[in-house]
Amino acid sequence: MNSTMDQIKDFLIVGGPVVWILLGFSVVAVTIVLAKTWQLTTLRAESRKSVDAALDAWRNRDIDGALAKLSDKRPVESIVAYSMDALRHANRDVATVREEAERRALNVLHDLRSFLRPMEIIASLSPLLGLLGTVLGMITAFQQMEAAGSQVDPSVLSGGIWQALLTTAVGIAVAIPVVAMHAWLERKVERVAHIMNDAVTQVFTSKEGERLAAVAARGVLHAA
């Protein structure tokens, strides 16, 4: 155990400040992945079971039953519930309901995408920082070789080179999993957006939605 800790300590010392920065990046990335995974799992953002059941009830003109199957705490269900509830009120303009549903959906997706941008930045900067550390290490190694003059020890030069290349290896090692996790989380958000768009469209295009829209339109005309 002590030897492992000593090796890690030596590794960090050899890598220098660039490795410490990359280590900090990795901690931030892991924290974001855990937080977003917990958020998506808790909200059941990709679940369609309740939404599909509510849409079936909506098509059968059981509006109260449809709304009872939906939860305001889940992203897709909350937008679908708003659309259904707003459409059944004859004093609501259908175009206004669509715009408001779109606005709410964009806000929900914005929340789901929060902190994905920092992951993208970490994935982009990690290899560059690793390369910077390598370049700085190579400069130091060749400065030592120049200072030694004709008495250059090849082992010292090779040691300086592998130490310099260490930062590039760490940068790539941090970037690869971060890129993979970022793509995975982004795909999940895209799937939520697709489910949300599909479900809300079904609310407006179903026969019950068309009937309620027509009632709402007549209400607007009478009010005018």
Give CA–CA dist 205/84, Å, rounded. Answer: 12
Domain ranges of the chain: 2-223
pLDDT value of residue 91: 62
164 vs 223: which has the higher pLDDT: 164
pLDDT at 167 over 90: no
Amino acid identity, position 103: R
pLDDT value of residue 11: 64
The model's pTM is 0.79
Residue 75: Cβ-neighbour burial (10 angstroms; 0-12, 13-18, 19+): buried
pLDDT value of residue 220: 44
pLDDT band at 119 (very low <50, low <70, confident <90, very high): very high
pLDDT at 155 over 90: no
pLDDT at 209 over 90: no
Kindly state the percentage of the chain with pLDDT values over 90: 40
Residues 6+ apart with CB under 8 A from 35: 115
Give CA–CA dist 5/16, Å, rounded. Answer: 17
pLDDT band at 223 (very low <50, low <70, confident <90, very high): very low
Give CA–CA dist 217/223, Å, rounded. Answer: 10
Q: In this structure, what token pair is assigned to residue 177?
A: 């999993």
Across the chain, what does the average pLDDT equal?
A: 82
Residues 6+ apart with CB under 8 A from 215: 90
pLDDT at 217 over 60: no
pLDDT band at 96 (very low <50, low <70, confident <90, very high): confident
pLDDT value of residue 92: 64
pLDDT at 207 over 60: no
Kindly state the percentage of the chain with pLDDT values over 70: 77
pLDDT value of residue 37: 92
pLDDT at 123 over 90: yes
pLDDT at 2 over 90: no
pLDDT band at 175 (very low <50, low <70, confident <90, very high): very high
